[in-house]
Amino acid sequence: MTNMVENVTNVVAEAAQKSAGAVIMDEFSRNKEVVSNLYQWFAEHGISFLVSLLLTAVIFLIGWGLIKCLTKAAEKVLKKSPLNELLTHFLVSVLNKTLWCLLLMIVLKRLGLDITPLIAGLGVTGFILGFAFKDALGNLASGMMIALNQPFKVGDYVSLGGNEGTVKSLNMMMTLLATADNKKVVVPNSVVWGSAITNFSETPYRRVDLTVAVAYKTDLAKACAIAREAVAKVASVLPDPAPAISVGTLADSSVVLNIRPFAKPSDYWAVYSGVLQSVKEAFDKAGIEIPFQQLDVRVTNRN
């Protein structure tokens, strides 16, 4: 019985070895056939393929150099034109990407690849991406309108979409503001173009609107004259247009004076605080009272 088991085991082992050997031989034969086919193809087409590949590489390098030269030349020409920096950068970027697409199409065509399905696929892909990136495309379109109309530039103090600050940078997608308290605010161009734009730096001067309250017993003509002298002492206040000082409101506890000097946009806050300080000191020196909120209560005894 033991001999029989050993014989069966030996037969199975020999069969397994033969089966493994057959598999290896079959795999070797297939690999040999593949190598043979590759060798035959290379012998027939190898030289022409290498020459074509070399020419394609040369075309790519020449195209790369031409793209760089054309992009730089276009940038120089556009910078000398009336176009602003934002529109110039956008047009140069579009030219660069267009030239690269043309170069890649030439290279693929030179390698013998059919680019017709690729072009058709790009059309469908562009349609799909248009829906997926509609917000980004809206920002891009708004950036184009900003570049064409130029409502502000880098360095201007503006109010955009409820945000106020100095324009630090802008591109076709967004505008970066620096607020007076040193915050960086990124405003999408679709928000910028879709709301009112206030440019405080566009005009040569800006009016500073201030109010100062005096007591009802005050000689208003004297108070206005003192306020006018105090305003004139502030260095950043412009003499022309002349500051306007007048009675504004009869409030509950005081008479409110409107004080409206003019200043350069860059001196706005210096004038704002300087005028308030100068007027306060002048009123104190002249004995003019700046009243606080008060309420008179009268108690009547009916007995």
Tell me, yes or no, whether 249 lies in a domain. Answer: yes
Q: What is the CATH number of the domain that holds 191?
A: 2.30.30.60
Rounded-to-10 torsion of CA 128, 129, 130, 134: 130
* CA neighbor of 204 nearest in space, from 231, 238, 153: 238
Structure tokens at 148: 């064409």
Specify which residues 186 forms β-bridges with: 176
pLDDT at 41: 61
Tell me, yes or no, whether 164 lies in a domain. Answer: yes
* CA neighbor of 85 nearest in space, from 142, 155, 147: 147
Tell me, yes or no, whether 299 lies in a domain. Answer: no
Range of the domain at 115: 43-132
pLDDT at 132: 45
Total-model pTM: 0.52
**φ and ψ at 211, to 5 degrees?**
-130, 140
Tell me, yes or no, whether 90 lies in a domain. Answer: yes
Name the domain count of the chain.
3
Tell me, yes or no, whether 107 lies in a domain. Answer: yes
Long-range contacts: 90-93, Cβ < 8 Å, 24+?
90/143, 90/144, 90/147, 90/172
Q: What is the CATH number of the domain that holds 92?
A: 1.10.287
Using pLDDT thresholds of 50, 70 and 90, give the confidence band for residue 83: low
pLDDT at 87: 67
Rounded-to-10 torsion of CA 188, 189, 195, 201: 100
Task: State pLDDT tens for residues 162-220.
Answer: 888 899 988 878 889 998 888 899 988 888 888 888 898 888 888 999 999 999 999 99
Cβ-based neighbours of 10, under 8 Å, separated by 6 or more: none
Q: What is the CATH number of the domain that holds 239?
A: 3.30.70.100
pLDDT at 32: 63
Using pLDDT thresholds of 50, 70 and 90, give the confidence band for residue 5: very low
Task: State pLDDT tens for residues 87-142.
Answer: 677 677 777 877 887 878 777 777 766 666 656 555 555 544 444 455 666 777 78
What is the 8-class DSSP label of residue 292?
Answer: P
Residues 109 and 174 in one domain: no
